Amino acid sequence: MTTPEPHSPNPENSTQESASHNALEAAGIDAAAMSYPHNPDFDNGRWFPTWRPYGGDLDRDPVGINEYLPPAKSVLLGVQHTFAMFGATVLAPLLMGFDPNLAILMSGICTVMFFMITGGRMPSYLGSSFAFIGPVIAVTAYAGVGFNDNLNVALGGIMACGIIYALIGLLVMKTGTGWIERLMPPIVTGAIVMIIGLNLAPVTIQGVSANQFDAWMATLTVLLISGVAVFTRGMLRRLLLLVGLILSYIAYFFMTNVLGYGVPIDFTSVSAASWFGLPSIHSPRFEMSAIILIAPVAFILVAENLGHFKAVEGMTKARVTPYMGRAFFADGLATTFSAGFGGTGVTTYAENIGVMAVTKVYSTTIFVVAGLVAILLGLSPKFGAIIQTIPAALLGGASIVVFGLIAIAGAKIWIDNHIDFSKNSNLIIAAVTVIMGTGNFSLHLGGFDLGGIGTATLAAIVLNALFNRQKD
C-alpha cells in the first residue's frame, strides 16, 4: 500500500484557484489583497472605519489603521512624520522656484484633506512631488536660484495634471486597479521613475558648477547626506536630507561667515520676518503648451502611488486596494487645490512609509496631527525666511543625492519585481524609455512640445501595449 503524498497538488483545485484568481484580476481586484483577514471595524460599509483605542504594547504590537493612541503619543508621532517629509517637501519647491512656506502649508492642508476623502483608511502624508520638477523647469526656463518668474504658467499645468489624476481616481473607484497594472506594469513604472531622476541630472550639475567654491560645498553636502544615510540608524537615517542639509549649512556658515570664503549667508530677511502670517498666494495661468508638458505627470503619480499603496497594504495586512480609487481622487484633488493657491503638486511620501515600517504605527489619526503641525509651520514667515537662506550650492548637492536616489528607485522596481531582461520586449521598453528621458528627447504635437519626460512616459506605455502579448 502506498501512502498518498500530503502535498500533492490537485489539478482540479489548481485550475479552480487559477480561474478564480484570473476572474478577480479581470474585475480589477487584487487577489493577494483579498486574502488578508476580514476586519469588521475596517470594512464596515461606512465612509469612515470604526475607531478603536489602542490596547496593545507599543514595543511589540503594531497600531492598526483604525486604532488611535493617547493625545501625547499621537502628537509626538505626528511631529515625527512632519519632519520625515520635511527635507523633501522643502527641497522640491526650492528647486522649482516656489515658495517653500506655502508648500509646507499646502502639504498640511492636503494631508488633512486626503484623510477626509479616503475616510481615514489610507495612512499617507501628502508632500511636494519631485515628478513635477523636470516639466516645471522645462516650461518656465527656471535658472535654479530665487523666485520663479513664470510660476503662474507652471501652476496652470499642475492644476490640469491634478484634474486628470482625480478623474483617473474616479475611474478606478468604478473599475478597480487591474487596468492600471496592465497599462503600467513594473517594467514601465521602473523606467518612468528612473527617467525622472536622470532627466534632471544636467540641470543639477550645471547649477553647482558656477565656481569651484560652490562645487566643493555641493560635494561636501553630498558626502554629509550620504554619511547620514550609511552610518546612522533609526529615525536619524530617515531624516537624512534634513540632517545632511543642517550639517552642510553649519559648514557653509563657518567657511563663509567666519573664515571669509565665498558669499556669506545674509540673515537680514530672517530678522525682518514676522513669526506668524499668511504666505504669498499666486494664481495659475493656463497655457496649452505648459499643460501638454506637465499633465502627463498624472500617469507618473498613478504609478508612484500605486506602489506606495501596495506597500502600505503589505505592511498593515489591511485590504486597502478597494479604496485606492479614493486615494487617487484625493491626491488629484489635493494637487489641484494646492496649485490653485500657488503651491506645488503633491503626492504620497515614501519617507513616511519608511517611518511606519520602523515604528509599526499605522493609525491614520497620526497623519492628521502631522498635517496640523505642517500648517502651523507654513503660517510662520520667519520659518520660510530661514529656509530661503539655504545657499544654492547646498541645494544643488542635495538634489544630486535626491535625483540619483529617484533614478535608482526605478532600477529597484525592476529588481523587486524580477523583471526578465532576457526578453527582448523588456529590453526595448527599458532602453528606449531611459535614453529618451535622459537625453530629453522631445516630440512636437502641433505647436506643443511634449518634453523629455512626457515623451519617454508615452513611449513606455505605447511600447508595452504593443509588446505585452508578444512571446519571446
6 within 8 A of 282, measured Cβ to Cβ: no
Q: What is the DSSP string of 222-265?
A: HHHHHHHHHH--HHHHHTHHHHHHHHHHHHHHIIIIIT--SPPP
- Report the length, in residues, of the chain: 472
Helices 71-96 + 133-140 axis angle, to 10:
40
294 pairs with which residues across the strands?
none
The span from the CA of 381 to the CA of 326, in Å, is 34
The span from the CA of 439 to the CA of 127, in Å, is 28
361 pairs with which residues across the strands?
63
pTM here?
Answer: 0.69
CB neighbourhood size of 386 (10 A): 17
Q: What is the pLDDT of residue 109?
A: 93
Q: What is the pLDDT of residue 167?
A: 94
| Four-CA torsion 64, 66, 69, 73, nearest 10 degrees | 70
Whose cell is 521602473? That residue is 190
Give me the helices (H) in 27-132, please: 31-34, 71-96, 100-117
SS3 state at 146: coil
Residue 111 contacts by C-beta under 8 Å, 6 or more apart in sequence?
124, 125, 126, 367, 368, 370, 371, 374
Nearest Cα to 104, choosing from 459, 385, 295, 332? Answer: 385
Q: What is the pLDDT of residue 331?
A: 92
Question: Which helix (H) or strand (E) is 448 found in, with range?
Answer: strand 448-449
Cα dihedral across residues 346, 350, 356, 359: positive or negative: negative
Nearest Cα to 333, choosing from 122, 156, 113, 103? Answer: 113
pLDDT profile of the chain (472 residues), mean per 10: 42 43 42 59 78 77 80 79 71 82 90 91 84 80 76 90 93 82 80 77 71 83 84 67 82 82 77 80 84 81 75 74 88 92 84 68 86 87 76 78 76 82 88 86 63 77 79 48
